[in-house]
């Protein structure tokens, strides 16, 4: 499917042992092709775990290592999930390492 748009969120600095929560309520029905995580400093997100849910539908049962979402676009894990207008997308990134990370969470939305 062709790209409709990208939607990105920045976590800001997440120091070791801390977490950031992101919530997004789309204003239209969307199809998420994939989710990409990028550390702004070019560092590793291997110590970061990710929890994703849409309303009560948990996608990560209990969490997944951020490395799943940090590959280049040609090899990124496909999500291929629909989200209805008004549903809440919830993402929690937990830094289990000692080095501060600053990540962008990028949704690839297709038509």
Q: 69: helix, coil or strand?
A: helix
Residue 40 above 70 pLDDT?
A: yes
Mean pLDDT of the chain: 93
The pLDDT value recorded for residue 75 is 67
Ordered domains of the chain (ranges, CATH): 3-110 (2.60.120.510)
pLDDT tens digit string along 62-105? 899 998 888 766 667 789 999 999 999 999 999 999 999 999 99
- Taking the model in full, what pTM does it have? 0.90
- The three state secondary structure string of 69-90 is HCCCHHHCCEEEEEECCCCCEE
């Amino acid at each position: 499917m062709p790209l409709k748009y990208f939607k990105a969120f920045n976590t800001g600095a997440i120091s070791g042992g801390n977490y950031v929560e992101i919530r997004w309520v789309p204003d239209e029905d969307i199809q998420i092709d994939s989710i990409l995580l990028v550390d702004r400093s070019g560092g590793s997100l291997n110590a970061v775990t990710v929890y994703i849910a849409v309303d009560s539908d948990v996608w990560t049962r209990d969490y997944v290592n951020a490395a799943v979402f940090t590959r280049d676009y040609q090899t990124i894990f496909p999500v291929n999930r629909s989200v209805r207008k008004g549903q809440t997308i919830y993402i929690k990134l937990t830094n289990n390492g000692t080095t501060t990370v600053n990540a962008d969470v990028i949704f690839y939305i297709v038509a």
